[in-house]
């Protein structure tokens, strides 16, 4: 099945920020990466942690990040089969960005709650 990601390669000015956002931009990818990093690494755990995401959207986001080599999908030969996700070595290079987003969000949330 061909991946129909919109604008994945759209970067007419070869902008590094656009390139980064093409990889991890959007509403869900940074959250999914953050949760997997915190050992929320199974599909059902992710769905419970992000109740507003549809099952299909979760599947799409995980597949895109797997295709982009940000995540690795590990299938355990058990009955029933167990699948876990982990951040790849390449994906780990994005963690400082996710950390910065988290730090900024915490500070802004505190400021907003005053």
Measured distance CA(53)–CA(48) in Å, rounded: 9
| Tokens encoding 44 | 């059902």
Give tens-digit pLDDT for 23-79: 998 899 999 999 999 999 999 999 999 999 999 999 999 999 999 999 999 999 999
Q: What is the residue-averaged pLDDT of the chain?
A: 90
pLDDT of residue 90: 97
What residue spans define the domains of the chain? 16-112
7: left (phi over 0), alpha (psi -120 to 50) or beta: left
Q: How confident is the model at residue 5 (pLDDT cuts 50, 70, 90)?
A: low
**The whole model's pTM is what?**
0.84
Q: Is 82 helix (H, G, I), strand (E, B) or coil?
A: strand
CATH 1.10.10.10 holds for 16-112: yes
Closest CA relative to residue 19, chosen from 9, 5, 34, 31: 9
């Amino acid at each position: 099945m061909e991946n129909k990601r919109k604008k994945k390669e759209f970067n007419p000015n070869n902008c590094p920020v656009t390139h980064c956002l093409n990889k991890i931009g959007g509403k869900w990818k940074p959250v999914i990466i953050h949760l997997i990093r915190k050992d929320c690494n199974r599909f059902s755990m992710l769905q419970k942690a992000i109740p507003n995401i549809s099952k299909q959207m979760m599947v799409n986001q995980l597949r895109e990040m797997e295709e982009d080599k940000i995540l690795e999908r590990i299938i355990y030969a058990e009955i029933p089969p167990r699948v876990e996700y982990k951040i790849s070595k390449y994906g780990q290079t994005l963690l400082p960005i996710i950390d910065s987003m988290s730090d900024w969000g915490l500070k802004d949330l505190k400021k907003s709650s005053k």
